């Protein structure tokens, strides 16, 4: 699977993350970084993107919160979606992003790509770490996006140096930019970004 998408994995590089042609994410780790044999995780995404009404019917969102979030998007509020891993942060970011007007240019920055935006003006960037000796960081891509006349920036899980850049973007004319953060509570999310 990894060879088909040009991602090396061997004794000198025993871990790899990749996006498969169908959009699924794969994470693989082999000895010597794992004990007992190779491990692989494939994360598949639903073909039909969920909408706010779906989250409401599942009990993941209530009507009042949906109205609040839609109003926040319409008014250009910066949004940080925070929760524990595997809880649906990217799903929520997709739902919230669906309310961005279709005439605005959105730049997405991820590693690997997970967002599924349907607007006509989406520029998708994907960071690469050590891929064939080439490293392109999310911080570099974020700085580049500031030169692209983007109206809004969507950054995947903020967990490193790009935190400073996404906050700068939110405060320098890119109102309505959004990101996700892995954290157990709102206060912990602020500490993570800090």
Instruction: Tell me how many domains the chain contains.
Output: 2
The pTM score is 0.79
- Looking at the fold, whether 126 and 181 belong to one and the same domain comes out as yes
Query: Does a structural domain hold residue 6?
Result: no
Helix (H) / strand (E) containing 74: helix 63-74
How far apart, in whole angstroms, are the C-alpha atoms of residue 155 and residue 174?
Answer: 12
Question: Contact 94/49 with Cβ under 8 angstroms?
Answer: yes
> Of 111-115, 161-165, 175-179, which one has max mean pLDDT?
175-179
Query: Does a structural domain hold residue 87?
Result: yes
Question: Contact 63/53 with Cβ under 8 angstroms?
Answer: no
Provide the domain limits for residue 145.
52-193
- Looking at the fold, whether 94 and 148 belong to one and the same domain comes out as yes
> Which residues, 6 or more positions from 113, have their beta carbon under 8 angstroms from its beta carbon?
19, 23, 124, 126, 156
Question: Contact 154/100 with Cβ under 8 angstroms?
Answer: no
How far apart, in whole angstroms, are the C-alpha atoms of residue 108 and residue 117?
Answer: 9
CA 163 to chain centre: 13
Question: Contact 179/135 with Cβ under 8 angstroms?
Answer: no
Tell me the two tokens of residue 159. 């967990």
Average pLDDT value for residue range 51-63: 94
Residue 48 has pLDDT above 80, yes or no: no
- Looking at the fold, whether 121 and 184 belong to one and the same domain comes out as yes
Q: Per-residue confidence at 5, pLDDT binned at 50, 70, 90?
A: confident
Tell me the two tokens of residue 147. 């030169």
- Looking at the fold, whether 67 and 33 belong to one and the same domain comes out as no
Phi and psi based region of residue 87 (left: phi greater than 0; alpha: psi -120 to 50; beta: remaining): alpha
User: What are the pLDDT digits (tens) for 25-41?
Assistant: 899 999 999 999 999 99
- Looking at the fold, whether 172 and 116 belong to one and the same domain comes out as yes
Give the CATH number for residue 76: 3.40.50.300
Average pLDDT value for residue range 146-158: 85
- Looking at the fold, whether 145 and 84 belong to one and the same domain comes out as yes
The SS3 of residue 175 is: coil
Strand duo 106-110 + 79-83: pairing = unpaired
Query: Does a structural domain hold residue 7?
Result: no
Query: Does a structural domain hold residue 1?
Result: no
Question: Contact 73/178 with Cβ under 8 angstroms?
Answer: no
Query: Does a structural domain hold residue 5?
Result: no
């Amino acid at each position: 699977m990894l060879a088909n998408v040009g991602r090396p994995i061997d004794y000198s590089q025993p871990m790899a993350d990749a996006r498969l042609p169908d959009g699924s994410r794969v994470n693989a780790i082999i000895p010597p970084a794992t004990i007992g044999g190779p491990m692989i995780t494939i994360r598949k995404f639903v073909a039909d993107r969920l909408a706010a009404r779906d989250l409401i019917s599942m009990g993941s969102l209530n009507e009042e919160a949906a109205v609040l979030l839609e109003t926040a998007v319409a008014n250009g509020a910066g949004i940080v979606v925070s929760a524990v891993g595997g809880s649906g942060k990217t799903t929520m970011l997709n739902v919230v992003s669906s309310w961005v007007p279709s005439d605005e240019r959105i730049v997405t920055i991820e590693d690997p790509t997970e967002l599924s935006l349907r607007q006509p003006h989406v520029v998708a960037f994907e960071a690469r770490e050590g891929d064939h000796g080439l490293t392109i960081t999310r911080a570099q891509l974020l700085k580049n996006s500031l030169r692209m006349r983007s109206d809004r920036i969507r950054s995947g899980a903020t967990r490193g140096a790009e935190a400073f850049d996404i906050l700068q973007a939110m405060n320098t004319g890119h109102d309505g930019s959004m990101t996700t953060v892995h954290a157990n509570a709102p206060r912990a999310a602020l500490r993570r970004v800090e």
